[in-house]
Amino acid sequence: MPPLLELVDVHKAFGRTEVLRGISFSVEPGEVVAVLGPSGSGKSTLLLCVNHLERIDRGRILFDGRLVGYREQGGRLKAEGDAAVARMRREIGMVFQRFNLFPHLTALGNVMEAPVHVLKQSKAEARARATAMLSRVGLGDKLDAYPSQLSGGQQQRVAIARSLAMGPRLMLFDEVTSALDPELVGEVLEVMRGLAEMGMTMLVVTHEMAFAREAASRVIFMDEGAVVEDAPPAAFFASPRSDRARQFLSRYGR
């Protein structure tokens, strides 16, 4: 089976600051890849590039064998149009550090919004699926709550349900527990563990070492815009090969 996601020599700079300097790796279907690294190592930018919310400067990203954000024409890369990129994003879910729930919609409204208006599901169908999805993340009793009436952990679970409602084949998680009070982190990780067990392919940028160690099938360690290590979690945590990874682990605990 071909990799679900493949990055080849991906470069990205903001002005003169190089954020990604030649990233290459691939993710097989069903893999849960934890992306670790100090802040400013380019992890979040990497995720934004994967579904073309940031455009890359060089290299290529392939999702299910198709170029992300570009198409090949006569041996050259041409930028894809808005509609084509949007269609690709339906299959890639993304969850953000700061939730980014739609504050003018209820939990149910948040989850139904894209299935109704992007996938053109009927309202009744979307409502049924959204209800099921919210129940699955433990919020069956909060359907009509607005984001401001929910705790951070609940909001983040709504955000996960909102992404899942699109039926994505790949989920991107961008430090989804970093904005949460410590006692709320567990409930979100619980949902993510469940997803991993069900075979969802996940690319997880995180500072939760326990999650990386227990739920990930692979760890990618990034520093200064480059992949420094790419190893199974057991190997990475027991015997990191690079000095930078060792330093990182001693700072963040094992």
Partner 1 sequence: MLGGVEGLFLGVIDWGVVRDNLFSELVLRGVWMTVRLSVLAMLFGIALGTVFALMRLSRLAPVRWASLLYIWLFRGTPLLVQIVFWFFALPQLWPEWAPWDGKLSTFQAAIVALSINEGAYMTEIMRAGIQSVDPGQALAARSLGMTYPLAMRRIILPQAMRVVIPPTGNEFIAMLKSSSLVNAISVAELFFVAKQQYSSSLKYLEWLLIISAWYLVLTTIASLFQAWLEARYRGPAGAASESVFSRARRPAWMGGR
The smaller minimum CB distance to partner 1, of residues 147 and 240, is found at 147
What element of type H or E holds 77? Answer: strand 76-79
For residue 179, state whether it binds partner 1 (rule: CB under 8 A).
Answer: yes
For residue 201, state whether it binds partner 1 (rule: CB under 8 A).
Answer: no
**Which of 216, 207, 106 minimizes the C-alpha distance to 154?**
106
For residue 120, state whether it binds partner 1 (rule: CB under 8 A).
Answer: no
Token code pair at residue 131: 């209800």
**Which of 230, 223, 214, 217 minimizes the C-alpha distance to 251?**
223
Q: Would you call 56 helix, strand, or coil by DSSP? A: coil
Token code pair at residue 7: 């990055």
For residue 100, state whether it binds partner 1 (rule: CB under 8 A).
Answer: yes
Footprint of partner 1 on 43-72 (CB under 8 A): 48, 51, 53
Residue 233, Cα to own-chain centre: how many angstroms?
18
Asked if 39 and 31 count as a contact pair (C-beta separation under 8 A), the reply is no
Taking CB under 8 A as the criterion, the residue among 2, 40, 103, 232 binding partner 1 is 103
Measured at the CA of 165, the angle between CA 91 and CA 121, to 5 degrees, comes to: 95
Write the interaction track for partner 1 spanning residues 3-32; mark x where CB under 8 A is met and - where it is not: ------------------------------
For residue 87, state whether it binds partner 1 (rule: CB under 8 A).
Answer: yes
Taking CB under 8 A as the criterion, the residue among 93, 225, 233, 240 binding partner 1 is 93
* Alpha carbon distance 227, 42 (integer Å): 10
Size, binding site for partner 1 by CB under 8 A = 40
Q: Which stretch binds partner 1 (CB under 8 A): 37-45, 64-72, 95-103, 128-136?
A: 95-103
List the beta bridge partners of residue 251: none
Please state, in angstroms and as integers, the Cα–Cα distance from residue 226 to each residue in 20, 51, 195, following that order: 6, 19, 28
The smaller minimum CB distance to partner 1, of residues 177 and 248, is found at 177
For residue 152, state whether it binds partner 1 (rule: CB under 8 A).
Answer: yes
For residue 192, state whether it binds partner 1 (rule: CB under 8 A).
Answer: no
Residues near partner 1 (CB under 8 A) = 48, 51, 53, 82-83, 86-87, 89-90, 92-94, 96, 98-104, 106, 113-114, 117-119, 146-152, 155, 159, 162-163, 166, 179-180
